[in-house]
Amino acid sequence: MVGSMCDGRNRTRIIVFGSDLGLLPGEDAEAVTAEAEDAAQVRYPLRVEFVSPLSELPNVSQIVLRLNRDLDDTGEVLVTVTVHGRTSNKVRIGIQP
């Protein structure tokens, strides 16, 4: 599942949800990396700004990602999240200028 939001500086963020991230006690967003890949297979790092388990579903975490400015004209990208060397399934998102 994916959602999106913008701040006052027009930096778009998306929220993705993942299950069983396997974060160790005390680990947070710094333990998680993410990237987007465009149709030409160019990869763009995404900043992981926040990670937190949902209170109602503790095995499910919300992950807030800030989109890279270079993604403005890419159309669709595939997003992955990596924790402790394990990479998620790819999520397709559409980007409109």
pLDDT mean by block of 10 residues, the chain; 97 residues: 49 89 88 94 94 92 90 87 94 85
Q: Which residues, other chains included, contact 71 with Cβ-Cβ below 8 Å and sequence gap of 6+?
A: 36, 38, 44, 77, 95
48: nearest Cα among 83, 3, 92, 84: 83
- Rounded Cα–Cα distance for residues 74 and 37 (Å): 9
Tokens encoding 84: 């402790």
Q: What global pTM score does this model have?
A: 0.84
For the chain, the distance separating the N- and C-terminal CA atoms, rounded to the nearest angstrom, is 21
What pLDDT does 1 receive? 47
On whether the CB atoms of residues 76 and 94 are closer than 8 A, the answer is yes
